[in-house]
């Protein structure tokens, strides 16, 4: 079943890029720009068919997302049905349509989860007060103090705690109280690691000092919030809240780069390898964590494509607006040079992130 959820997660991840490109295609057609090709995956082409509207629909061998090819994609292109001949407002709508679709996709996913059970990852996560119930799904191990009692018992971050000193662990507060009540004693701890039940004897510290605690373990509740009639409202509210948090984290990462704190910056980003690893971990916990992660990724794609970085949607729009403001023609050669440079930088950054991911996860 874990493999099934992992495959589903990978399909949904690729689907996020496909719907992003579909947003561009729909906006282009609605604004009089011809869509020459809409592809799922990247070339070489495996199969293709000409649709009634003139667009060639293709399936390609590299399953890494999708693409849309517009007629006359350069800003300087001219002629009926070309992107270049569209108005500035039409170009803006075409470029930002993918961002909009990814954001709406996140809203839909979070709406479904608000009804089915939304993981609570923020202390003040948005909810409608008179239509929400909270459930503690599990108590998870957080920070494990090196050479502390919990570490010696084999507990690692992410493990689920079931019993301690013969008592059920029903909440993080309950666990903390039990460690306080059993200070200095040797007690039995039951926990789950990689879906396997573990039992260990733990000798607690006599005092809660040096920030190590009695057991040398930080814990947190894996809480779930559920809504009924307010699920659509929660879906929008949570998406707005996560959008703000994503921008805040992004600016924090940029700030770390400017202050030469490269390790801190690297810890806040991940690439395809990291996403695959996280999807693999999420798949072990079922469908809800996978859907939640896909919603977060969809939101992240929307935010990233708003950035004024060449080769991204926001970057293309920024360059177009910049040359309009300078009243200079954006020739095909200039645009290709700018966007090409941006793509090279992004690919180089992706290589660095992939190396970091390999070191981090494997």
Task: Tell whether 187 and 219 lie within a shared domain.
Answer: yes
Q: What is the pLDDT of residue 312?
A: 93
Per-chain mean pLDDT for the chain: 86
Question: What residues make up the domain containing 331?
Answer: 92-119+246-361
Looking at the DSSP bridge assignments, the partners of residue 202 are 187
Task: Give one word for 286, left, alpha or beta, with left for phi > 0 and alpha for psi -120 to 50.
Answer: left
Task: Tell whether 274 and 174 lie within a shared domain.
Answer: no
Task: Tell whether 99 and 162 lie within a shared domain.
Answer: no
78 Cβ neighbours under 8 A, 6+ residues apart? 72, 84, 85
214 Cβ neighbours under 8 A, 6+ residues apart? 149, 179, 180, 182, 183, 204, 205, 207, 208
Domain harbouring 189, CATH code: 2.30.42.10
Tens of pLDDT, residue by residue over 170-210, are: 888 888 899 989 988 999 999 988 778 999 999 998 887 65
Q: Which residues of 345-362 are buried (b: 16+ CB within 10 A; e: fewer)?
A: eeeeeeeebeebbeeeee
Which residue numbers in the chain have pLDDT < 50? 262, 265-266
Q: pTM for the complete prediction?
A: 0.81
- What is the total count of domains within the chain? 2
Q: What is the pLDDT of residue 35?
A: 97
Task: Report helix, strand or coil for 311.
Answer: coil
Task: Tell whether 99 and 145 lie within a shared domain.
Answer: no
Determine, yes or no, domain membership for 43.
no
Determine, yes or no, domain membership for 74.
no
Tokens of 213: 């605690």
Closest C-alpha to 156, from 281, 320, 4, 289: 281
Task: Tell whether 254 and 111 lie within a shared domain.
Answer: yes
Task: Tell whether 214 and 273 lie within a shared domain.
Answer: no
Q: How far is CA 37 from the centre of its chain?
A: 28
Q: What is the pLDDT of residue 265?
A: 43
Spatial distance between the Cα atoms of 280 and 277, rounded to a whole number of angstroms? 5
Tokens 């200079």 map to which residue?
328
Q: What is the pLDDT of residue 38?
A: 97
């Amino acid at each position: 079943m874990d493999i099934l959820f992992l495959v589903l997660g990978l399909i949904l991840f690729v689907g996020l890029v496909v719907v992003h490109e579909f947003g561009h295609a729909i906006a282009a057609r609605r604004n009089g720009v011809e869509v020459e090709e809409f592809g799922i995956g990247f070339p070489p082409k495996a199969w293709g068919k000409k649709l009634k509207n003139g667009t060639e629909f293709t399936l390609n061998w590299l399953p890494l997302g999708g693409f849309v090819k517009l007629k006359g994609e350069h800003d300087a292109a001219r002629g009926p049905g070309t992107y270049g001949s569209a108005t500035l407002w039409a170009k803006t709508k075409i470029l930002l349509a993918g961002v909009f679709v990814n954001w709406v996709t996140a809203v839909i996913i979070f709406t479904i989860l608000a009804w089915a059970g939304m993981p609570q990852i923020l202390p003040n996560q948005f909810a409608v007060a008179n239509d929400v119930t909270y459930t503690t799904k599990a108590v998870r191990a957080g920070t494990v103090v090196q050479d502390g009692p919990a570490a010696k018992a084999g507990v690692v971050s992410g493990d689920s705690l079931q019993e301690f000193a013969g008592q059920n662990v029903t909440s993080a507060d309950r666990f903390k109280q039990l460690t306080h009540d059993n200070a200095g004693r040797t007690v039995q701890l039951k926990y789950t690691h990689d879906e396997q039940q573990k039992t260990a004897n733990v000798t607690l510290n006599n005092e809660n000092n040096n920030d190590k605690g009695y057991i040398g373990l930080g814990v947190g509740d894996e809480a779930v919030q559920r809504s009924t009639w307010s699920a659509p409202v929660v879906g929008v509210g949570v998406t707005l809240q996560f959008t703000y948090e994503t921008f805040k984290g992004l600016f924090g990462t940029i700030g770390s780069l400017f202050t030469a704190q490269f390790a801190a910056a690297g810890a806040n980003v991940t690439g395809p390898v990291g996403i695959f690893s996280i999807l693999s971990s999420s798949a072990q916990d079922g469908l809800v964590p996978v859907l939640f992660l896909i919603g977060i990724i969809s939101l992240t794609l929307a935010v990233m494509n708003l950035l004024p970085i060449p080769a991204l949607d926001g970057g293309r729009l920024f360059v177009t607006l910049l040359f309009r403001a300078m009243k200079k023609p954006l020739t095909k050669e200039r645009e290709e040079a700018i966007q090409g440079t941006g793509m090279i930088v992004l690919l180089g950054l992706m290589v660095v992130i992939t190396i970091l991911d390999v070191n981090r996860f494997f």
